[in-house]
Chains A and B, each alone.
Chain A
Amino acid sequence: MFERVKRGDDTIEAPEASRPESDKSFGSLRSKVTGRSSEVAVIGSSIQINGDLRGDEDLRIEGNVSGTVELKNSVLTIGKEGKVKAGVYAKSIAVDGETKGDLYATDRVSVHVNARVQGNIIAPKVSIEEGAHFKGSIEMDPAAVEKALGKTTAGIVDKTVSQHKPGKTLDSKAAPKKTAKDADTNVNPPAKTA
């Protein structure tokens, strides 16, 4: 079902300029993988999946996926052809295509130019490029982000949350003061517990 694209010491990475935008934004993460090959699974543009998708490797979606996507320790890229109607949980999420549903990432969510995202974003770092279309909420209260992500990383995902309409997600209890220092992209400072 999945096409595999090999990356690593035995392959030549595409030059930065010729790679897709979504690859560039995660280039630093991939460059840390040394001494062994890493693979990215690809769901091709003719593939349609209805149901829950779980895994522990990087994934690129160019097809249609409905349901839930859980790649808690991996990078998910929704390519330009990709259409995802699902609650998504991953380490990092990059969107070039279309999504409807909440996006949870323990590291970052990047919404690239021409992407169309409807849903809520819960992640310590969020970037939305000029030309991207986004409708939904972005939680920047560190305590609320931590609480939401804590639930997902502990595997206590409330499935109803992923099916909420845009704007309907997080709890909003009071929390200790946190400030964002990296104002360019890190809109959500990493949450810390006292």
Chain B
Amino acid sequence: MAVSLRRARPGAPPNAPVAFHAPLFQELVTGLDETERHVVLDLGSASTPMLALLGRSRTRVEIADLAHFGGIDRLNTAEPGAALASAAESLLPIPLPDNAFDLVFCWDLPNYLTLSALSALMNAIGHRARPGALAHALIFYSERDMCEHPGRFVPTADGELINYNPRHASIAAPRYSPEDLGKSMGRFVLDRARLLSTGMQEFLFRL
């Protein structure tokens, strides 16, 4: 199970989730230009700390919450081709003028998608994103197992992350390589990657 062992909060129970440093995430959220409007697509769950962090700038946040609204199953079970593309489209908000995505937070969701499902999703997102848009993802890399369900990542005020996912059963992690991801992120291309203390690899892709 990928849980950081560093920096437990004072007074927290021994098994309480702890914050871990994700430099690319931190750079993204702290570097938002407060004078610019940003449209953010969050494929994970909404949390007040994340909204507070993004709310420092003029932001519109679209929450897709694939894990809790059936998105993962819909993508993984759709027939490849038109059905899969349609499933991916249906999970995204209806496009509005001047609301192309600038930032996409994938969290650890790519680990729970087949590569073809991930490819369809990122293709659909790519069509709704601005040129230069960034996509952030956390991939299980050195850990062989991962939680049965995607994490619920909540940032601290200084931009570190805490995974509040309850510890259910573990399943084998697909451990996608950068090459796998590079072929499955639609028009997004790898910009940077960092290995984290949690055993995850943090990726930043750019359109």
Contacts and interface: CB of A to CB of B under 8 A. Distances in A.
A133 B94 CA distance: 19
A126 B65 CA distance: 17
B53 A134 contact: no
Contacts, number: 110
Contact of A164 (B53, B55, B63, B94): B94
Interface stretch (B42-50, B75-83, B142-150, B195-203): B42-50
A118 B22 CA distance: 30
B98 A179 contact: no
Interface string B52-63: 111111111111
A169 B164 CA distance: 30
A103 interface: no
Interface string B131-174: 00000000000000000000010100100000010000000000
Contact of A141 (B53, B59, B69): B59
Contact of A139 (B52, B60, B97): B60
Given A128-B48, A134-B65, A137-B63, A165 B94 contact: yes
Contacts of B94: 164-165, 167-168
B9 interface: no
Q: Which of B37, B39, B92, B98 has the largest count of A CB atoms less than 10 A from its CB?
A: B37
Interface stretch (A51-59, A65-73, A91-99, A182-190): A182-190
Nearest to A172: B98
B191 interface: no
B63 A135 contact: yes
Given A126-B51, A168-B94, A137 B69 contact: no
A8 interface: no
Contacts of B52: 180, 183-187
B15 interface: no
A167 B62 contact: yes
Contacts of B69: 118, 133, 135
A183 B59 CA distance: 14
Contacts of A180: 52, 55-56
Nearest to A173: B98
Contact of A138 (B34, B61, B99): B61
B46 A170 contact: no
A140 B59 contact: yes
Q: Which of B45, B46, B62 has the largest count of A CB atoms less than 10 A from its CB?
A: B46
Given A130-B164, A140-B60, A143-B58, A184 B34 contact: no
Contacts of B99: 172
Contacts of B154: 130
A141 B60 contact: yes
B40 to A, nearest CB: 9
17 contacts: A127-B48, A130-B47, A130-B154, A134-B46, A134-B65, A137-B63, A138-B51, A138-B60, A140-B58, A143-B58, A166-B93, A168-B94, A172-B96, A175-B58, A183-B53, A183-B55, A183-B56
